[in-house]
Structure 1
Amino acid sequence: MRFRNSRVRTKVTALIVSLAALWAFAAWVTLRDGINLAWVAVYNKGVAQPSETLLLELQQERRMSVTRLADPGRVSRSALEAQRARTDAAAANFRRLADGGDVRLAAGDDLRQRIDQAFQRLNQLGPGRDAIDAGHTDRAQAVAAYTDVADALFQTYYALATLHDDEIAKDTRTLIGLNWARELISREDALLAGIIAEGRFTGSEAAQFTQLVGAERYFMAQSQTDLEQADPAAYARLSKSADLARLHTLEDLVSQQGRPGGFVPVTAEQWQQASSHALTQLHDIVATAGDTLVGRSTPVAAGVILRLVLAGVLGLVAVVASVVLAVTTARTLVRQLEKLRAAALELANERLPGVVERLAQGEKVDVAAEAPPLEFGGDLIGQVGAAFNTVQETAIRTAVEEAQLRQSIRDILLSLARRTQSLVHRQLTLLDVMERREADPAELKDLFRIDHLATRMRRNAENLIVLSGASPARAWRRSVPMVDVVRGALAEVEDYTRVTVLPMGQVGLTGRAVGDVIHLLAELIENAVSFSPPYTTVQVGGQSVASGYAIEIEDRGLGMTPEDLDATNERIANPPEFNLSSTARLGLYVVSRLAERHGIRVSLKASAYGGTTAVVLLPRDLVIEAGEELSGEDTGPLPEQERGARRIALVGAPEVVPEPAQEVVVPVPSAPEPPRPAPPAAFTPGGLPLRVPQASLAPELADQPPSRLDDEDDRRSPEDIRKIMGSFQSGTRRGRSEAAKLAREGREGEDDQ
């Protein structure tokens, strides 16, 4: 029971699992958002605050290093070393907090990667300091050494701005933009401090200062626009700041009057006072806004987690209820489906095949009795069961109607085939009379061609008889030599001149199988000739084997693939039920039915010449070995072979490989004695007794030497020979006509009696 219902139960289980997985996924998404917001405090404590302190120290050390490179007297070595110590302490604190377990747990892959990159930039700060102390670098390279570390720290800020809460993420990006504007002011301060210490602008420093001012104004304006909605108080302080206004005035003055090689239009005290106040005010605004942002994220995270708890509990209750409902429903559904499946299997495996078999045997079938209605209830499954009742009734009724239609089609085919066969027999009889009466070779040749067409028409009519399930009317009471059977098959093939008949041996075929074997061989030979090039030949040979007699038909065509050979052999060995859709394989169907009727085995195989070889294995009970019936008086040429011999004489003959001659040993005594008759079982390939010269002469005549023909006989003209043969033919025809007349009068007399 468990295995039979595994598919339905598996689907129900999969439905339950998918529902639980969907609930778990929704819960996890909600929980992740809450945890992400709850981790804002972790990011702020472990990354934002220590990195901001480190950034301030790096900005101060950058300004002092650039000033000392321009004028060592303005910044002492001890002051620079003290500042470096503060920078290293801030860097160590940043490493410790950012590399902590809570930050690593809360941070994503992107944030962890950017923190590691900041650590690498800090490690590269030492060689830059050594170059500054040794004087091996200029002010621009010194600024770049510190700027790389600052850029890496800002990359960690950008990773923090990817929170799942849109408002908090937007406010975070606003603060980052404001802090970036402060970094640009710090870079202006370091650059201009070095220029003031140098006393004049060198190289492209004026252009660099102007570029920094433009970038700082852009980020400042953008951040103020976003800050107006996020934190109005911070925006008011920033927009009304006198320190920033004073700084912007000095920036404009330096940008307008600064020229390469020119002097700085402001003093060091003026610039330092304005820049330091502006930097301090911006730092306070960013720090205050950051604390506010962290405070806003905490209640939002708590609300998300609360909603998660409520949704999770309610969702879990819904999942449990769904599981219970699905299990109970599945059990009821499985029981009803089992009943429906059993009924369907019974219909498909027992009742419907039984009905079809009984119909094939000609029995009457009651549709109502064979399709009793089944009760499944009034629910949806019951409606399906009612539909199944209709289906089974329709199926059985359709099977009955189809069987009747098939039988009607077979009867129609049989009737048409019998009529056609009768007409063709009459046509062949009339043609035989006309052939015997005609003396003109040209007209006789045309008559033989018409005779050949009629013979092929008869085979097609017999195909219809076989397809209808009946047996052709042609039958023989006597056995026939096997070579005559093959020649009779050739008489029914269109391109018989392309067929080579190999020696068949001194065997015969029982009369009851002659007609069907001729038909079977004709179909196979016709197939071999049709599917091979016109310049090739088809060989037909036979020999006795352990289980009977084997006839091989080999063509030189393109052959068949192994898959096609297997499919064709299977179709021949197990012929399917004939239907109107199998018209492409009618020849194989006829062959399979004829072979099945006599227990003949037919198989196809690949030929060594690239074509196909058909092997026809006749069972031993159909084969007459030499010396049995073939030596009696019942054997003789077939009617088809007799007419075919006359037709071949004018139209063309197939190539026949002669049988190996049998040596007849006649002892020669010292004194003349009468010739002895031929030994029994000595026959010609055509089945006639082998003639021995002078075997029928009287003993007194046998002693006389044979007389020689007169020389005048050798000089007879063709006209004389034609007259002699014409007289012989006329006498033969007259004798046959009289014999036929006597036979007809005898039949009429019997009818009168």
Structure 2
Amino acid sequence: MRFRGKSIRRKIVALLLVPLVSLVAIWAFAAWITSRGVFALFDVERVTDKIGYPVENAIEALAEERKAALVRLADPHRPGSLRDLRTAEQATDKAVGVVRDNSRNADLRNRLDAASLHRLDGLVAQAADLETVRRKVDDGQIATTAAFTAYNDEIDPYYSFFHGLNPLQSVALDRQARVLTELSRGREAAAREDAVYSAGLAAGRLTHAQQLQFADAVAQRRLLFDTYPQLLPASDSRLFDDYWNSATGRALRSAEDRIVGADVDAHPEPGSSDGLVVSAGDWQATAGSVLGDLASLDRQAAENYKGRVTPFAVGVLVKAGVAGGFGLLAVLVSVVVSLRTGRSLARDLSALRKEAQEASGTRLPRVMRRLAAGEEVDVDTEVPRLEYPEDEMGAVGRALNTLQRAAVEAAVRQADLRRGISDVFVNLARRNQVLLHRQLTLLDTMERRTEDARELADLFKLDHMTTRMRRHAEGLVILSGAAPSRQWRKPVPLMDVVRAAVAEVEDYERVEVRRLPRIGVAGPAVADITHLVAELIENATVFSPPHTTVQVHGERVANGFVLEIDDRGLGLTPDALLDANLRLAETPEFELSDTDRLGLFVVSRLAQRQGVRVSLRESPYGGTTAVVLIPTALLTEGIGDSDTGEQRAPAAVARQAVREPAGDRGLPDEIELPVTDGGGDEAFREWGLVAEAPCEEVPARTRRFEIAEQRADRLGLAPATDRSARPEGPEPSARPDAPVPLPRRRHAPVLVADNGRTVDGVRRTTAPGGDAAGREQRPAPQATPGGLPRRIRQASLAPQLRADDTTRTRTATPGAAAPATDDRDADEVRSRMASLQRGWQRGREEADDLTVPDRPTGPGGDDTGTTSEGDGR
């Protein structure tokens, strides 16, 4: 059987309750047995008075009626025989009536056991048979010997009732009670002698059958009185011995011997002996005296027995009380000891339980938190060695203390192992970053040196892959708990941050970025926000079909700014979505075995570090939408040239290509251009880049040189004939040598207005000298209703480009082979790229300088990409 109690106290109580209940049950049973015997002794007197004496009176009355009936049958004509019979019958009826009435007494019946009650009810029912015998006697239809047997059958059940009346627990007293019953039966034997011989006297002759009945009665009487008085106490035994040694006793024995020894024929003849050897007077005097004396002796022995029973009952009661009291005291002591023992065990176990709970719920988690925070933990301080008593409970306490110390030591070793692994990750990542920085520098050199368009395109791709590798290396640093190397001190426009994030994604051509408000991101958070958004955008591009786009848009909210990244993929199941949101919200400890979701861990770490809230939900397109809530504390208002350092930013995002509708230009959806220097080392210093941070650039360098040529052809940009012709401006180059704040060499994210038009909201300040000269030579182009420069085909194209128009056309055609460039050198290529960039910069400046009087409409009457708030949404 399993005990379902939950508390330790209940289990201990259950453990001690079983023996206690057993002990109490045994004590109660013993007390009940003892008390029952004691009360049975006290009931002897009451039972004797209520049923013992009435039964004995009924036996005596039946004996008198038997004698009168036998005399009546022996001589029906004897005077007074009928009167004596009726008197005896009345006495018998009275005595039996008393027995009948007392047998119905409820108190008496409660004091008798079941066997005695059954025999008592039998006596009452047997009284009805007596009427049958009486009718036969009255009618003379029964012989003397038969009547003698019938009356004996009526009397014998009374003695059986005496034998089973209230058996006592005391062997001596019970034996004395049985002895008294047998002595009463001996007196009944003497009465039978008197009845048989009196019938012979009345008939004038003793028959042989009557002589045999007389002899049986004599033998029974002598056996009983010779045997049972010896079993009584000495005083009672002496009474019977003295009586039988008296003259009356000797006279009865002498008469019995003569009657039994008389010569009585079985078939008497006239003149034969009649067997009446004792005269009627002598017999009546002797038998009557003996029967009276025996009745007195029986009553005296019964009174003496009652006198012995009462003190014995009191003594037994005292002994039972003392035993019961000691038993009860033992039970109470056992209960008290059990409760104290149980309470002590419960207290010790509760202390151990509290200690275990404190270790598992407070101490170990605190140690784990401290270890996770990088603090040093002293095992002896956190889990001191405690002293316990030298017993089993103390052994359990010591084992528990050892277990706690082992757990803390294991946690410390695990933390040291994790710290070592993190250090290894950081070391490897830093080494990779150094190598990648050197690789990017080498790629810069190669890009400046090459003249082949295909090679330049491949170098751009390799440059882009290297930048992605640098981001992944930085992800290892973040997972290891270290801070990234890229740091800014001054705010950066949010649009630049998003563009930089898009530029770090492999499928950046598929990303469409709607115009964002002119707000900035605090410098210390720029690197983390850029990395976080890049991870989410890359996840959107990876898990969506390649022909679909990923949209990035945002708006102000009460608690900051919300960026939403929508993809058109298959989406996530509800369980997977819930699991991803839990990982993003709770920032679980990074497990080395869970390598399939490194991006989620990186995003979660970055979001926790900057207080950004990131969540995933189902997108309207059936895919997944990542919602990034940037808190107000990380945002700055009114970003301008003085704050952002748009010229000071390393090429900023003005180098980015702008996506235009294919129908407007007949070109592929994305234009990729090489990067020129936008301000030199001074710009980097003004952006507040940490000196020891590795090199970083914003995405501006793109895919194919031949597309760049055709783009320059359409925009009408004239290349500079010589790099040194630009006064006071830094030499254009494929990459700055100094570190920069944002990712490098990618397609610009596509800025899309609400009506589907592509827009660009970043104003570029070019290098001094070169761009100024260009402005003096060319009038400002007309503006579109949206404020952008209107393109005039080949209006500003350099003479060299006009001369090679056929080659440019072939280069701009998708799939066309690159033209031969055997006669061009690196300076010419750089001049062309510089001219192209200056044309873009000039166009943006002129577009920004134009004012928009009314909200223009695009083709088909749709709104352009500007709202009343000016955020381009």
State the TM-score, normalized to the length of structure 1: 0.47
Structure with bigger gyration radius: 2
| Structure with the larger helix share | 1
State the TM-score, normalized to the length of structure 2: 0.41
